[in-house]
């Protein structure tokens, strides 16, 4: 089917994630005739899996300057959109629509219900109130440019759609099963935009050591993880880590993965301090006391109070201490080796897990070509870009959805 549609829309938004929904909703609220196109059968597929289905909607950092700093070097792009529609405004947006909010450790903001579907429901209602026309199960295939304007878009059924303005909110390349396959980057290159190479970020890490598979599922609380490149310490973080079948995951690892991605290639080591509350000397005393109390116990049976069960056989093997040796015969030198393992358990970084398991994509549309106040393209007059497709991302903790709300709102607010 090939059908010319009349130019009946003020705005066509491509991509029904949180960004597209906010942009479409706000433009419609202000009176624009808006069409929202989504290739999945329903909107907000990725939004629903956010925060393991609980949806960490933002981070309760109410000072805009502080918020901007937390986004790193590209953070200043968000200054204006956060000022207009930042943390307080998005919380108010959901609360005023009946969602009760709670703040957890690390200023993470969640719906009290722990249900991301409550957040999606509000967005769907907002679109309805704003009289946005929604078409799902429709994929945009091509974008046709004329001069420095987008003339029309072509859908997968051959239909052509025209509009005064277009918004691309197709997201990044991570978790492609949710619909974000990175198609927008190709369109934007074709339209003359510079794209900073998209890379997976906020991902688990794969390590070289084979023994790691024996630790799968082991979760560690209150550990300190440090990253070293060529023996130089780059960063340390304290918190939770988790062993996977081939490496490490968990909040601390996910948060440090962006930095590690920037460090590659090179000799990168991940060191885990299982006992950060005790320095080498104190840990030595503690072990010495434990060994004294245990008297004749075999070394292999002596670490139960100190370490989780799964870790014990590996620590014993790596320590080189005879597992059948009685603890009172363990030498000072052997104890030193053991302590070193507990304080600096070293793994060799192999790679990040790819886009399939990355929470976000780092890189994207070069920010120098986008107006930070309106998110309008500086290359194509009737084009607006927002959300994860832009070259800006934040750490875990609600920062990435805040980009979507703020930039999506900026588009909707200025496009009509
Ligand atoms: C597992 C996981 C958990 C996360 N948890 C959190 C969290 O708790 N807090 C947080 O701040 N961030 C979280 N994030 C990150 C957050 O989900 C993203 O930053 C956010 O979804 C990006 O929104 P977006 O609207 O820009 O893009 P997306 O959400 O990726 O939406 C893009 C939409 O465009 C559609 N699309 C693509 N191509 C086309 C096309 N050709 N035609 C029509 N439609 C198209 C896609 O189907 C998709 O629905 C998480 C991410 C993942 C993967």
The domains of the chain are located at 9-200+360-414, 204-353
Q: What is the mean pLDDT of residues 228-244?
A: 94
Q: How far is CA 11 from the centre of its chain?
A: 29
Q: Are 352 and 206 in contact (CB under 8 A)?
A: yes
The pLDDT of 109-132, averaged and rounded, is 98
Q: Is residue 232 predicted with pLDDT exceeding 60?
A: yes
pLDDT beyond 50 at 203 = yes
Q: How confident is the model at residue 315 (pLDDT cuts 50, 70, 90)?
A: very high
How does pLDDT run across 73-110, given as a tens digit for each residue? 999 999 999 999 999 999 999 999 999 999 998 999 99
User: The domain 9-200+360-414 belongs to what CATH superfamily?
Assistant: FAD/NAD(P)-binding domain (3.50.50.60)
Q: Which residue has the higher pLDDT, 279 or 7?
A: 279
- The minimum-distance atom of ligand 1 relative to the CA of 179 is 47
Residue 22 reports pLDDT greater than 80: yes
- CA–centroid distance, residue 103 to ligand 1 (Å): 22
Across 137-152, average pLDDT: 96
- Would the CB of 387 count as within 6 Å of ligand 1? yes
| pLDDT tens for each residue of 343-397 | 999 999 999 999 998 999 999 999 999 999 999 999 999 999 999 999 999 999 9
Q: Residue 302: which of 330, 332, 276 has the closest Cα?
A: 330
Residue 319 CB–ligand 1 contact under 6 Å: no
Q: Kindly report the number of other CB atoms within 10 A of residue 285's CB atom.
A: 11
Query: What is the average per-residue pLDDT within 191-214?
Result: 95
pTM recorded for the entire structure: 0.90
The reply to whether ligand 1 has any atom less than 6 angstroms from the CB of 56 is yes
Mean pLDDT, the chain, rounded, equals 95
Give, in words, the CATH class of 204-353.
mainly alpha
- Indicate the top mutation candidate among 102, 201, 398, 401 to test ligand 1's pocket, ranked by most ligand atoms within 8 A of CB: 401
Pocket test for ligand 1, best of 13, 14, 16, 17 (most atoms within 8 A of CB): 17
Q: According to the model, what pLDDT value does residue 292 have?
A: 86
Q: What is the pLDDT of residue 220?
A: 94
Residue identifier of the C-alpha nearest atom 47 of ligand 1: 179
Rounded Cα gap, residues 256 and 259, in angstroms: 6
4 confidence band (pLDDT: 50, 70, 90): very low
- Cα→Cα distances 376→165, 198, 372, Å: 10, 21, 8
| Rounded Cα distance, 132 and 317, in Å | 63
220 with 249: CB under 8 angstroms? no
pLDDT at 194 over 90: yes
Tokens of 101: 């909010």
Q: Residue of the nearest CA to atom 46 in ligand 1?
A: 179
SS3 at position 133: strand
- CA-CA distance, 23 to 406, in Å (whole number)? 9
| Closest ligand 1 atom number to CA of residue 56 | 8
pLDDT beyond 60 at 5 = no
Nearest-angstrom CA–CA distance, 162 and 4: 8
State if residue 61 touches ligand 1 by the CB under 6 angstroms criterion: no
Ligand 1 neighbourhood includes 395 CB (under 6 angstroms)? no
Probe target for ligand 1 pocket from 179, 361, 407, 410, with the most ligand atoms within 8 Å of CB? 179
Q: How far is CA 65 from the centre of its chain?
A: 21
Atom from ligand 1 closest to the CA of residue 174:
53
Q: How many helices (H) and strands (E) does the chain have?
A: 12, 18
């Amino acid at each position: 089917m090939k059908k010319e549609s009349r130019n009946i829309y003020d705005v066509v938004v491509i991509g029904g994630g949180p960004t597209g929904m906010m942009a479409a909703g706000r433009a419609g609220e202000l009176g624009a005739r808006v069409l929202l196109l989504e290739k999945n059968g329903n909107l907000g597929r990725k939004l629903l899996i956010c925060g393991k289905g609980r949806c960490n909607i933002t981070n309760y950092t109410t000072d805009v300057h502080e918020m901007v700093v937390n986004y790193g070097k590209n953070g200043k792009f968000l200054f204006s959109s956060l000022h207009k529609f930042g943390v307080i405004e998005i919380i108010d947006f959901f609360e005023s629509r009946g969602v009760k909010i709670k703040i957890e450790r690390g200023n993470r903001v969640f719906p009290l219900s722990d249900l991301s579907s409550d957040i999606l429901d509000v967005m769907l209602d907002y679109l309805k109130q704003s009289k946005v026309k929604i078409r799902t199960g429709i994929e945009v295939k091509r974008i046709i440019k004329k001069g420095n304007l987008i003339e029309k878009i072509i859908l997968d059924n051959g239909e052509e759609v025209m509009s005064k303005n277009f918004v691309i909110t197709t997201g990044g390349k991570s978790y492609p099963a949710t619909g974000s396959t990175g198609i927008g980057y190709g369109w934007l290159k074709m339209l003359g935009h510079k794209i900073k190479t998209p890379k997976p970020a906020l991902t688990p890490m794969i390590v070289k050591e084979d023994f790691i598979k024996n630790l799968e599922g082991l979760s560690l609380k209150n550990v300190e993880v440090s990253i070293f490149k060529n023996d130089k310490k780059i960063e340390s973080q304290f918190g939770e880590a988790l062993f996977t079948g081939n490496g490490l995951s968990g909040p601390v690892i996910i948060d440090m993965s962006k930095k590690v991605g920037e460090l590659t290639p090179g000799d990168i080591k991940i060191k885990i301090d299982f006992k950060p509350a005790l320095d080498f000397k104190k840990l030595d005393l503690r072990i010495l006391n434990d060994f004294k109390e245990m008297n004749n116990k075999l070394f292999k049976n002596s670490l139960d109070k100190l370490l989780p069960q799964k870790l014990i056989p590996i620590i014993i093997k790596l320590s080189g201490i005879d597992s059948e040796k009685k603890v009172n015969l363990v030498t000072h030198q052997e104890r030193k080796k053991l302590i070193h393992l507990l304080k600096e358990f070293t793994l060799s970084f192999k790679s990040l897990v790819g886009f399939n398991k990355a929470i976000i994509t780092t890189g994207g549309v070069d920010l120098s070509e986008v107006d930070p106040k309106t998110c309008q393209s500086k290359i194509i007059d009737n084009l607006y870009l927002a959300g994860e497709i832009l070259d800006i991302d934040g750490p875990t903790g609600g920062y990435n959805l805040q980009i979507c709300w703020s930039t999506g709102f900026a588009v909707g607010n200025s496009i009509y």
